[in-house]
Amino acid sequence: MGMNNNINQIPMQQTYNPYQGQPSNQPALQPQNQEQVQPVIYNVPNQQIYTNAPDNNQGVSSLLKNYIMANGKQLNNVAQVQAVNMEANQSGNWQNNLKTMLRSSQAQFMAVIPRTMNAKDTDGNALIQNGEVRGNFINAIDRLDELKALGVNTLHVLPIHPPGKTKAMGTAGSLYAPADLLKVDPALKDPNTPGTAEDHCKKFIQECHKRGISVMLDLPSCASVDFAQKHPELMSYEKNGNDKTPGGWQDIRMFNVFEDEEKRTLNPHLLELHKKYVDMCQDLGFDGIRADVGRAKPAEFWDIIISYSRAKDPNFGWLAETYTYEDASPQLNMPHDRPTELLKAGFDTYYGQYHIIDQWTKASQIRNYINEQIALQKEIPDGEPRPPIGSMSTHDDQSPMLYGGSPWVQFTTILQSTMPLCNPYFVDGVQSGDYYLYPYEHAQAPETETDTHECTVHKGRIDIFNYSRKPGGKNPEIGKQITNMLNLRQGEYNDVITKGSTCWIKPKQDNDEVIAFARQYGNKTLLVVGNRNVNKRNSAKLELRDIKKDQQLTDLTLPYGEKSYIQTENGELKLDLAPSRIHVFEINAPNIESDAFDVSKFVNGRYTKVK
């Protein structure tokens, strides 16, 4: 092959330097029979095969053995160096505990996009141009107090890398089409503040930490066309030499994750890139990583990368974009989705299926899904819980405002704030009812930073393709509800919501549009009753032996939408619920478990269904 297999020539020994690491190897990686980009078949030395096939002689995984053999040589001479956490010094006494938060349902997310987070759209056309101020790390800091006030304690920062410009989507390029995974987009640097984009990023994170907010960075699953052309050794190709492109996304190219898929030998170059990515994140001060399209890489891959990140920061948090078990993938070139194996590989939380809650028109569908997630916990060998996020709004889905307006968004807010096994999750803009409708949709913009002038927009979804306005809408009451619920969740009722048992009550005259469950921990009980129907009122009667006729019920939610009518009788609660209306009452109900038909309890650190 003429390819040099000498491990010393692979730039593993170098500290990450995005511009210096690759060039030395580039000539060797150039394809032989084509001028620019084409598949390269590596003849990888056996020492470098990453596999989990057991090595009987050594008693340890040969993957590890190989990894050590491949990388260990360089490490021998620096055994005595002690670690100094410079970042910790710079951000006060910040102690990352994101992993614990995620696993114990304590994280309360907001997904943010730095390049639009605090953009100043002075002309009102929603597109930031002609000298208008774009969002950047420095002006984003101005919004942190607002987020903090909402009750948000974790940010999911969408990708911050310079986007690829070739075959791009949108005039700024897609956030998920990085031209360089190991670099912060210079556009996110505030021109009026000294320092590099990386410096500004660090500053932003420090400010988050000062406010007690953890920060996760979004790791794109693929790379831009520009990146792919530069790094063929990392990329995956069709047999005919064409780039492998995930179905529906023409601007990105897929990584080659396996050196030999049959033997499940991982691509050492890709592992190396991701190891460096972790290094970069930790250098910048991020507390965790959100893995975009988790299924794009196998469990073995994540096992190494997550373990690697944790070796350096045991509480480094990982969120997997993984939804539900698939027999096969409906998306071209993409592997099937298997949440369990990713959670086993070390992810702390995952997307789950709450993004399709608008299709679950019955209370039983929500209950069944929660129960499925409770059952899934048993499959995780380490015994620690893996709650999903309350992904009722995500950047990949249409704004929940389009389904049911402000009442529906408040409904989902209250529901995810009181459900068991859930890290509440919001996308920036939802807190004030953003419909994510952009007037420039598919218009030709005069200014562009990519090879297209078309303002690509996925209708009803937050813009990830252009320099657009700051997210936000005209329904501030949603933000108040979020503030109310997240603070309630973090405060007095934290144990009830994160560790309390869940008791589902069957309404009399079985009405599957009425949601009724109680959360109980110690002598505290919260009763949640709601109407899943966004258009129509629903009545029901709950038989609860502890309810007294003269009992006063105080709703812990802020009022919204139409008014509900709730009447107490001895031993029962009569409900006439307004559309999309959900209420939370603290009640004294020692007998709630026996009134319930479906009960899950928090036993030995995780939920188990007991009835």
Partner 1 sequence: MLNNNQNNMMMNNLSLRQLGDREVFQKFLAKPEHVTKDAAKGHLVKENVGQQFTSMLTDNFKDISNLGEAFVSGKSNDHALGRMNDLGMKLGGSIIAAALMGRKATTNKKLMEIFGFTTFFSTMSLWPKIAIDLPTKLRFGFNPHQKYVDSQGRKKQFFLDNQYLPWDVWSKEDINKVADKMKVPKDLKDREEYTKEKMRTIALQDNTLWMLTAGLASPLLTSLVCNRIEAGLKTPVAKAELQQVEKNISNIADKTLSMSKDTNITGKSDEAFSAIYESLKKGEMPKNLEEQLSEIFDIRKGIQNEDLVNRLQDHGTGKKLYDILFKDTKSSLKFEDSDLLKFLKETDPENADEILGILNKAKGEVDPDKGLKGIVQHLEKQYSRKGQSIIGKGSKKAAANGGLINKKWVAALSDLSQNDKAQAKAYAKQMSVYNQEELAKKAGELSSLYENWLKPSQANMRFLEKNLSILNNVSGEKYNSVAKTFVKTLGFTDKEIKVLKASNEAAGGDIQQKLTEKLIEVAQDETKYNKAIKKLDKQIAKIDKQGEKGLTSKITDAFNSLVDKVKGSLTGTSKGANKELQSAFGDILTEGLSKNDAASLGADITSVNSTLIRFKAALELERDIQSGKLITECAEKMGLNAADITDVQKTDIIESLRRMCWQSSFGDAMNKGYKTGNGKAYSALIETIFPKAAEGAENGKSSWQKAVNELFLRETYIPNPSLSKEGDDIWNAYVGRAWGAFDEYNGNSENVKKITNFGQLPKETLEQIQNEVTGGKASEYFKPSNVKFADYGESVLSAVKKQANQMYNDRTWMKVFGGATIALVGFTLISQLFFGKVKDAHLYQKKEDKDTFESGK
Least CB distance from residue 83 to partner 1, whole Å? Answer: 6
Q: Could you say which of 180, 207, 218, 303 contacts partner 1 (CB under 8 A)?
A: 303
Q: Smaller CB distance to partner 1: residue 9 or 15?
A: 15
How near is the Cβ of 398 to partner 1 at its closest, in Å? Answer: 22
Q: Can residue 569 be called a binding residue for partner 1 (CB under 8 A)?
A: no
Q: Classify residue 287 by its DSSP letter.
A: -
Q: Could you tell me how many residues of this chain bind partner 1 (CB under 8 A)?
A: 69
Q: Whole-number minimum distance, CB 546 to partner 1, in Å?
A: 34
CB 252 within 8 A of CB 163: no
CA distances for 490 relative to 151, 476, 496, 556, 584, angstroms: 8, 21, 10, 14, 15
List the interface residues with partner 1, window 202-261 (CB under 8 A). Answer: 202-203, 239-241, 261
Q: Determine if 365 is a binding residue for partner 1 (CB under 8 A).
A: no
Binding of partner 1 at residue 493 (CB under 8 A)? no
Give the one residue of 8, 24, 26, 74 binding partner 1; rule: CB under 8 A. Answer: 74
Residue 198 sits in the site that holds partner 1 (CB under 8 A) = yes
Does 610 interact with partner 1 (rule: CB under 8 A)? no
- Among residues 142 and 382, whose Cβ is nearest to partner 1? 382
Considering the rule CB under 8 A, would residue 300 count as an interface residue with partner 1? yes
Distance, CA of 533 to CA of 530 (rounded, Å) = 9
Q: DSSP letter string over 55-66?
A: -TTTSSBHHHHH
Within residues 308-337, the interface with partner 1 by CB under 8 A covers 308, 310-312, 325, 327-330, 332, 336
Q: Which of residues 27-46 bind partner 1 (CB under 8 A)?
A: 41, 43, 45-46
Distance CA 203, CA 517 (A): 43
Q: How many CA atoms lie within 13 A of 408 on its CB side?
A: 19
Toward partner 1, which CB reaches closer, 282 or 406? 282
Is 594 a binding residue for partner 1 by CB under 8 A? The answer is no
Please state, in angstroms and as integers, the Cα–Cα distance from residue 180 to each residue in 36, 224, 242, 318, 325, following that order: 18, 8, 21, 21, 31
Q: Check binding of 264 to partner 1 (CB under 8 A).
A: yes
What's the DSSP call for residue 183? S
Sole window of 14-22, 415-423, 463-471, 593-601 interacting with partner 1 (rule: CB under 8 A)? 14-22
Tell whether residue 490 is a contact of partner 1 (CB under 8 A): no
Q: Of these, 341, 434, 454, 513, which contacts partner 1 (CB under 8 A)?
A: 341
Should residue 93 be labelled a site residue for partner 1 when binding is judged by CB under 8 A?
Answer: no
401 binds partner 1 (CB under 8 A): no
Helices 401-418, 476-490: axis angle to 10 degrees equals 10
Amino acid identity, position 44: V
Residue 430 burial by Cβ neighbours in a 10 Å radius (0-12, 13-18, 19+): buried
DSSP states along 6-43: -GGGSTTSSPP-TTTTTGGGHHHHS-SSSSS-------
β-bridge partners, 528: 517, 584
Tell me the C-alpha distance between 546 and 586, whole Å: 12
β-strand pairing of 598-603 with 606-609: antiparallel
DSSP assignment string, 233-270: GGB-B-TTSPBP--TT-TTEE-B--EEETTTTEE-HHH
* Positions in the binding site for partner 1 (CB under 8 A): 5, 15-17, 41, 43, 45-47, 52, 60-61, 63-64, 67-68, 71-72, 74-75, 78-79, 81-84, 86, 90, 194-196, 198-200, 202-203, 239-241, 261-262, 264, 275, 279, 283, 298-300, 302-304, 307-308, 310-312, 325, 327-330, 332, 336, 338, 340-341, 344-346
